[in-house]
Chains A and B, each alone.
Chain A
Amino acid sequence: MNIRKAIVSAVLIVLQATVVGLGVNALSPNPLPWIRVPPHMTRKVADSKMVLGSETIKKTQTEPKPPDDKVDKVDKVESENPQDLPAPVIEKKEPPAVATAQKPSSVYGSGSRKVEKAKAASAVPKAKKVEALFTTLADAKVLFDRKEAIFIDSRHREDYELERIPGALWLFVEDVDRLYDEVLGSLPKDRTLITYCSDPQCGSAIKLADELVARGHTKVFILLEGLPGWKEAGYPTEGSSVGD
């Protein structure tokens, strides 16, 4: 067996694939960055005042809060006056649609036209990307106890049926287009929704929360610690694995 020949041709295939893969990514309109930053490190945790509102905070000030060591790892969105709080989403400005049009004029005299184009481009309202924020286990539990939030499980159906936060609805993120009307279509857009999945790294709760924000929901949060954190804190669950 000519193993050396096989290894050489395998290495050549990998090299070709590397060149094509990196080239396609470089030419893609939405290229992947070289280094991945986990989603739970790029977005913030909503302040308790934003999640609970001032009245609820007053009611719960005397209640003990569960340990929440993970929250310290990420920034919090602070607000002095809860009455003036904006909707709990972050708006991100997209880069200008015509990036090259904002460059200075060229030496061949077409610069003034380019500048005009740049002005026209800047006059067009830029599309804004909205992102849901994380919420802590403690705040989510307060909302759960007061039945002020709807929990939404973004995992697979079988996992949802095995174990979930009591009362949680199921909305699988990959089927949100098909299931949305059935699950959340009749709900007021200002109802507090908390999405969760396996943990901060699973990503589907984040994706689902952003989908819901894009559909007009104004109070959507992501449970930072996910279902494992909820269970570790000793909070209740239901489902076939826990005897409903």
Chain B
Amino acid sequence: MVSAVGKIADPAGFAESVAAYRILPNVLVNPFAMVLPWVEVFVGLSLINRISVSGSALLAIVLSFVFLVAVISAMVRGLDIECGCFTVAKSKVGWELIARDLILLGMSLVLFFGNAFMERKLGESVLDKPAV
């Protein structure tokens, strides 16, 4: 959610950051930049409010994995670009970013599989709020 604030505040800057990775075609860059920050917000809100934890955790895994692949691919191609992460243009693509994405991916995996494990053991999710 924190990372989404800067992107929502500066959508044009975020779109440029997305374009700089040279992964998406130009037709998809702006729609992606419009939607992705809100996906992050909704995932964060769902996790905080313990609503649809399994779905949010799954999305968090997908997002972290996509970010990780994008950063590694940028580094392999030798692109000297901004990461477009928390603030739109302050941090660079590099090992620090890969480490951060790996931590986020690990946390998302623990959340998803931990929740699934408890759900199997107890018959219901311990993280999801009980239905009233």
Are A32 and B38 touching (Cβ within 8 A)?
A: no
Cβ of B30: which chain A residues have Cβ within 8 Å of it? 32-36
**Main SS at interface, chain A:** helix
Check A79 for interface membership: any CB of B closer than 8 A: no
Check B69 for interface membership: any CB of A closer than 8 A: no
User: Which residue from B26, B36, B56 sits with its C-beta under 8 Å from A37?
Assistant: B26
CB distance from B46 to the nearest CB of A (A): 6
Please report the C-alpha to C-alpha distance between residue A20 and residue B38 in the assembled complex, in whole angstroms. 7
Q: Which residue of A lies closest to B88 (CB)?
A: A174
Check B127 for interface membership: any CB of A closer than 8 A: no
Are A1 and B55 touching (Cβ within 8 A)?
A: no
Cβ of A25: which chain B residues have Cβ within 8 Å of it? 11, 34
Cβ of A18: which chain B residues have Cβ within 8 Å of it? 35, 38
Are A174 and B90 touching (Cβ within 8 A)?
A: yes
Are B33 and A24 touching (Cβ within 8 A)?
A: no
Are A22 and B34 touching (Cβ within 8 A)?
A: yes
Q: Which residue of B lies closest to A162 (CB)?
A: B80
Q: From A131-139, A144-152, A201-209, A232-240, give the one contacting chain B.
A: A201-209
User: Which residue from B12, B26, B36, B42 sits with its C-beta under 8 Å from A38?
Assistant: B26
Check B100 for interface membership: any CB of A closer than 8 A: no
Task: Tell me the B40-69 residues at the A interface (CB within 8 Å).
Answer: 41-43, 46, 52, 54-59, 62
What is the size category of the interface that chain A forms with chain B?
35 or more
User: Which residue from A17, A34, A38 sits with its C-beta under 8 Å from B35?
Assistant: A17
Cβ of A156: which chain B residues have Cβ within 8 Å of it? 80, 92
Task: Tell me the B18-46 residues at the A interface (CB within 8 Å).
Answer: 19-20, 22, 26-27, 29-31, 33-39, 41-43, 46
Among B35, B37, B79, B112, max chain A CB count under 10 A is at: B35
Check A217 for interface membership: any CB of B closer than 8 A: no
Q: Which residue of A lies closest to B27 (CB)?
A: A35
User: Which residue from B22, B27, B38, B120 sits with its C-beta under 8 Å from A201?
Assistant: B22
Please report the C-alpha to C-alpha distance between residue A24 and residue B4 in the assembled complex, in whole angstroms. 14
Known: A201-B20, A201-B22, A204-B89. A5 touches B39 (CB 8 A): no
Q: Which residue of A lies closest to B56 (CB)?
A: A13
User: Which residue from A1, A6, A24, A202 sits with its C-beta under 8 Å from B38?
Assistant: A24
Are B80 and A159 touching (Cβ within 8 A)?
A: yes
Check A16 for interface membership: any CB of B closer than 8 A: yes
Are B79 and A198 touching (Cβ within 8 A)?
A: yes
Q: Which residue of A lies closest to B39 (CB)?
A: A17
Check B105 for interface membership: any CB of A closer than 8 A: no
Check B15 for interface membership: any CB of A closer than 8 A: yes
Please report the C-alpha to C-alpha distance between residue A14 and residue B119 in the assembled complex, in whole angstroms. 23
* Pairs A-B, 8 closest by C-beta atoms: A9-B55, A1-B116, A9-B52, A6-B54, A17-B38, A21-B38, A21-B35, A17-B39
Known: A13-B39, A17-B35, A21-B34. 19 other contacts (CB 8 A): A1-B113, A6-B112, A6-B116, A7-B55, A7-B58, A8-B55, A11-B55, A12-B52, A14-B39, A14-B59, A17-B41, A18-B38, A21-B35, A21-B36, A21-B39, A28-B11, A34-B27, A36-B29, A174-B90
Q: Residues on A close to B: CB < 8 A?
A: 1-2, 5-14, 16-18, 20-22, 24-25, 28, 30, 32-38, 155-156, 158-159, 173-174, 198, 201-204
